[in-house]
Amino acid sequence: MNSAAKQTPLHAAHVAAAARMVDFAGWDMPVNYGSQIEEHHAVRRDAGMFDVSHMLALDLAGPDATSFLRKLLANDVVKLKEPGKALYSCMLNERGGVIDDLIVYRFSDADYRIVVNAGTADKDVAWMRQRIAATGANLTLQARRDLAMIAVQGPRALERAAAALPELATARGIPSPFSCARAADLLVARTGYTGEDGLEIAVPASRAEAMWNGLLAAGVKPCGLGARDTLRLEAGMNLYGQDMDDTVSPLDAGLSWTVDFKDEARDFVGRKALQSKPAQQRLLGLILEDKGVLRSHMTVVAPSGEGETTSGSFSPTLEKSIAFVRLPLAAQPGEAVEVEVRGKRLKARTVKLPFVRNGQILV
């Protein structure tokens, strides 16, 4: 354990459960509680929970909130027609690189919550404050470190969470997919990072451990960062700092679907850079056919030219090694390619992402 690392409100619960703790983005976090593969399968087959309190919730409020976010983000918040709807977006710099990927929830035109990544939280807040000052927007931005966040994921996640949390018994307790609802002092969002159904729950830090223990009693298995990584990889979900960063365009990172160019008058940060430099690469999935393990930064030789893996690991669901690979635009799913692993060229094939969604193997 790194004694300088920050601790979430659930740290004592992880230590009591004999979790293996690691430093992740400056936080002391559980990587697993025993078998990482068992934790992975629990989420695919039943229900697992993750402490995601290292991520940061930001409350943006004021009369200029909607107009500010329309220029701050590459996706367009006007798509959020109803209160509680959620939107995934990248926040770009002027060069079109990804400062962070985030989720924004709309409560009203003057009230939003934004959830950002742990490793970029300070940078994100500084960038947003800079943009607020530069535009003179009438807004307040509040970092909610008084909250903990627990993600409950899996095909039985809703059922088990409802059994543990009486607040969810209310008529509006469980929101529709990619929406959120307030239930007493909780914010319950039907979102996640695993490719399964589930909830991400923001709870006052003082209540977090009691909630965690209640979910545990309802049969939800604690899961660490290891399973979270293999689950998101199977689900085709990017990891900031690995699959994209502030030097990578979302158009090259498989995230063009999150960039909204429709309103020509919406001059969001990075728009001009993206329009002047269209996509150069294509993000595909990779399945290793030979024996070995795929990791990031491996050279891939394809019919269209060379590329590089950005994330890679063993897939417990497929029981094979898988990766994301950035290849020239001409690359197609279903091609035979070779991966350079420790001086050897191993056989692999490209596939369309995701590998797995809602428990079903799609490749």
CATH number of residue 298's parent domain: 2.40.30.110
Number of independent structural domains in the chain: 1
Q: What is the pLDDT of residue 361?
A: 97
Q: How far apart are CA 205 and CA 202, in angstroms?
A: 9
pLDDT tens digit sequence for 115-148 = 999 999 999 999 999 999 999 999 999 999 999 9
Q: What is the pLDDT of residue 346?
A: 98
Q: Tell me whether residue 254 is in a domain.
A: no
Q: How far apart are CA 47 and CA 44, in angstroms?
A: 7
Chain-centroid distance, C-alpha 346: 30
Percent of the chain, pLDDT > 70? 99
Question: Is the bond preceding residue 333 a cis peptide, omega within 30 degrees?
Answer: no
**Across 343-354, average pLDDT:** 97
Q: What is the pLDDT of residue 174?
A: 85
Percent of the chain, pLDDT > 90? 95
Helix (H, G, I), strand (E, B) or coil at 135: helix
Q: Tell me whether residue 274 is in a domain.
A: no
Task: Look up tokens 């960039």; give the residue.
Answer: 259
Q: Tell me whether residue 140 is in a domain.
A: no
Burial label, 217 (beta-carbon count in 10 A; 0-12, 13-18, 19+): exposed
pTM of the model: 0.96
Q: Tell me whether residue 325 is in a domain.
A: yes
Q: Is it the case that residue 1 has pLDDT exceeding 60?
A: no
Q: What is the pLDDT of residue 16?
A: 96
Q: Tell me whether residue 185 is in a domain.
A: no
Q: Tell me whether residue 310 is in a domain.
A: yes
Q: Tell me whether residue 136 is in a domain.
A: no
**Which residue range is the domain that position 304 belongs to?**
280-361
Q: Tell me whether residue 340 is in a domain.
A: yes
Which residues, listed in sequence order, are joined to residue 339 by a DSSP beta bridge? 300, 346
